[in-house]
Amino acid sequence: MDYQRILEEIADEVKPLLKNGVVANYIPELAKIQQDKFGMYLLTLDQEPYAVGDYDEKFSIQSISKVFMLAMAVGKCKEKVYRRVDVEPSGDPFNSLVQLEYEEGIPRNPFINSGALVVTDMLISNLSDPRGEFLEYVNKLTGQDDIRYNEKVAASEKLLGFKNAAMVNLMKSYGNIHNDIEEVLDLYFDFCSIEMTCHELAKAFRVFANHGKGVIDSHRYLTKSQFKRIAAIMLTCGFYDEAGEFAFRVGLPGKSGVGGGIAAILPNEYSIVVWSPGLNRKGNSLAGMKALELFTTKTTSSIF
């Protein structure tokens, strides 16, 4: 299949959408990003790369980091993770407080903000240097040693992170946060601030496409059972309250971030990443969603 031609066709078809989305301006540092950026990168398990646009420009991966957080926590804590975080789609915005209070401090899933904050708390409890070890983990997944946090983005998020602070305090009141509130928030903002390119994210997610086993180093990051559960959560919960729409239109497990990135996998076949900073009303990349819908339509590839 001529993947390169298909990516180039998609880039042309989504070009009119690049001016329609809204950059995540509630995070001051992200508001500075040029809206018409677009990159796409496909990486097959046999290491064939295909790319178009701004695929080698770094961007803040934001909530995509929650996949790495969950994978690392599951590797450390096994099934205990799911005692403190549920695995159901939320049906509500990613920063909703209402559902969290109704369900007595147990987040619906690990990919909404409250769930990722609990996962952050678990990593603090189980790692001697969570900030450094998490970065090392992401670098290892990517096969690099130069992935970094963006301190300006993290500080920008903390400046206006009132809802996240409210969530941590609420969950602390129910006993589902074990560590210092400020420590949890600071680390969570660091995790979300990681910068990667489409190329780098595709390399990291290729490990998930390979059922949790490294393609280059053959290291097993997750058991097949752990991978299966994380892939299921990506499919059902990876796109805020638009997960059903993504499954319906694209048909791949994946995760989005308000930095405009989307990373997805077809197990045993490929990882694919798209970046376009303009978001739709649900907080997902407008052009990115369409690009991946076009890709699975043109290639007739999905998990279904």
Radius of gyration of the chain measured on its C-alpha atoms: 18
Q: Is 258 assigned to a binding site? A: yes
Is the distance from CB of 212 to CB of 222 less than 8 angstroms?
yes
The beta strand positions in the chain, using DSSP E, are 39-44, 49-53, 59-60, 195-196, 254-256, 261-266, 270-275
Q: What is the DSSP letter of 22?
A: B
Q: Is 188 assigned to a binding site? A: yes
Q: Is 63 assigned to a binding site? A: yes
Q: Which two tokens stand for residue 205?
A: 């997610």
CA-based torsion, 107, 110, 113, 119: positive or negative: positive
**Size of the chain, expressed as the number of residues it contains:** 304
Q: What is the DSSP letter of 16?
A: G
Q: What is the DSSP letter of 144?
A: -
Q: What is the DSSP letter of 240?
A: G
Distance of CA 75 to the CA centre of its chain: 18
* Locus of tokens 């390979």: 210
Is the distance from CB of 43 to CB of 206 less than 8 angstroms?
yes
Is the distance from CB of 226 to CB of 278 less than 8 angstroms?
no
Distance linking the first and last C-alpha atoms of the chain: 19
**CA 290 to CA 55: how far, in whole Å?**
17
**CA 215 to CA 209: how far, in whole Å?**
9
Binding residues for substrate, by number, are: 63, 113, 157, 164, 188, 240, 258
Binding residues, by number, are: 63, 113, 157, 164, 188, 240, 258
